[in-house]
């Protein structure tokens, strides 16, 4: 259980706000032992507080800059960075812990902000709300062109979700969707066969018979009746 860095009281699951002293705890970056804050403010503004974001360097495989609001502790990632960070910090997960996954979503604190669309820190267009990995329980705000906003505490939740095999589960789900689509595709291509007569003993008289050949059909039918009497 995470504890408040100010008063050491236990923090509610997934919450960065201490119920005792009211301090905001940076639970997201505690797993990342080392990062530096850059002198210059990023030209981007926090979609929650309207204050300039600070660039921080997480030093993952070299320089790894993300933007962070020092006030609400929200994070902004350029496209692909969030996935890269998750892959770099949560490795070697081979099992899916389904009950664990249900558990972290069950105990998750309700969202700290009312449901609303917020603006992209770069272009100020309203971002899309997407459930990360379809079932992670974290609704991220995404601008297709500029990146992803995570509110404070959401990164930690995503890391726990990854550790419990949430990403593997999502990959399985996507694989199943692909298979279903392929199956539907194949069925669609085979559809003309539905209008063809079922193969039967008559086919042994050479090639599939179309019902549009009633005379031939009738003739062969009669011939068989004749020989099998
Ligand atoms: Zn506290
Ligand atoms: Zn903020
Ligand atoms: Zn944008």
Ligand 2 centre and the CA of 200: distance in Å?
Answer: 72
Ligand 3 centre and the CA of 48: distance in Å?
Answer: 15
Consecutive 10-residue averages of pLDDT for the chain (229 residues): 84 80 83 70 88 89 89 94 91 90 79 88 96 88 96 92 92 92 90 58 52 68 74
Cα–Cα dist 35/210, whole Å: 74
Residue ranges near ligand 1 (ion) with Cβ within 5 Å: 4, 6-7, 9, 18, 20-21, 23
Ligand 3 centre and the CA of 143: distance in Å?
Answer: 5
Ligand 1 centre and the CA of 2: distance in Å?
Answer: 11
Ligand 1 centre and the CA of 8: distance in Å?
Answer: 6
Which parts of 114-189 are beta strand (E)? Answer: 128-131, 139-143, 147-150
Distance of CA 153 to the CA centre of its chain: 17
143-168 burial, b at 16+ Cβ within 10 Å, e below that, comes to beebbbbbbbbbbbbbbbbbbbbbbe
- Whether 53 and 68 have beta carbons less than 8 Å apart is answered as yes
Number of the ligand closest to the Cα of 16: 1
pLDDT at 52: 92
Bridge partner list, 55: 67
pLDDT digits (tens, 9 = 90+) for 128-171: 999 998 888 889 999 999 999 999 989 999 999 999 999 999 99
Ligand 3 centre and the CA of 7: distance in Å?
Answer: 38
Cα–Cα dist 42/39, whole Å: 9
pTM over 0.95? The answer is: no
pLDDT at 176: 93
Cα–Cα dist 82/88, whole Å: 10
Bridge partner list, 150: 75
Number of the ligand closest to the Cα of 12: 1
Ligand 2 centre and the CA of 48: distance in Å?
Answer: 5
- Candidates 101, 148, 106, 111; CA nearest to 128 is 148
pLDDT at 203: 52
Q: Please, which contacts does 59-65 make with residues 24 or more away whose CB atoms are closer than 8 Å?
A: 59/34, 59/35, 60/32, 60/84, 60/85, 60/88, 60/89, 61/88, 65/38
């Amino acid at each position: 259980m995470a504890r408040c860095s100010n008063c050491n009281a236990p923090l509610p699951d997934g919450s960065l706000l201490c119920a005792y002293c009211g301090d905001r705890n940076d639970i997201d970056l505690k797993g990342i032992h080392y990062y530096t804050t850059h002198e210059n403010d990023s030209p981007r503004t926090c979609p929650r507080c309207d204050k300039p974001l600070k660039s921080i360097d997480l030093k993952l495989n070299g320089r790894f800059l993300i933007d962070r609001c020092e006030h609400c502790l929200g994070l902004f990632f350029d496209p692909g960075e969030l996935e890269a960070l998750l892959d770099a910090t949560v490795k070697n997960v081979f099992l899916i812990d389904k009950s664990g996954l249900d558990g972290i979503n069950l105990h998750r604190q309700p969202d700290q902000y009312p449901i609303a669309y917020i603006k992209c820190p770069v272009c100020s267009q309203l971002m899309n709300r997407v459930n990360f990995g379809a079932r992670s329980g974290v609704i991220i705000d995404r601008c297709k062109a500029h990146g992803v906003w995570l509110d404070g505490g959401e990164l930690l939740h995503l890391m726990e979700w990854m550790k419990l095999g949430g990403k593997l589960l999502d990959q399985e789900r996507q694989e199943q969707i692909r298979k279903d689509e392929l199956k539907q595709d194949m069925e669609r291509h085979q559809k003309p066969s539905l209008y063809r007569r079922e193969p039967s003993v008559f086919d042994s008289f050479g090639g599939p018979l179309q019902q549009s050949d009633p005379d031939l059909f009738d003739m062969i039918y009669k011939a068989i009746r004749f020989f099998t009497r």
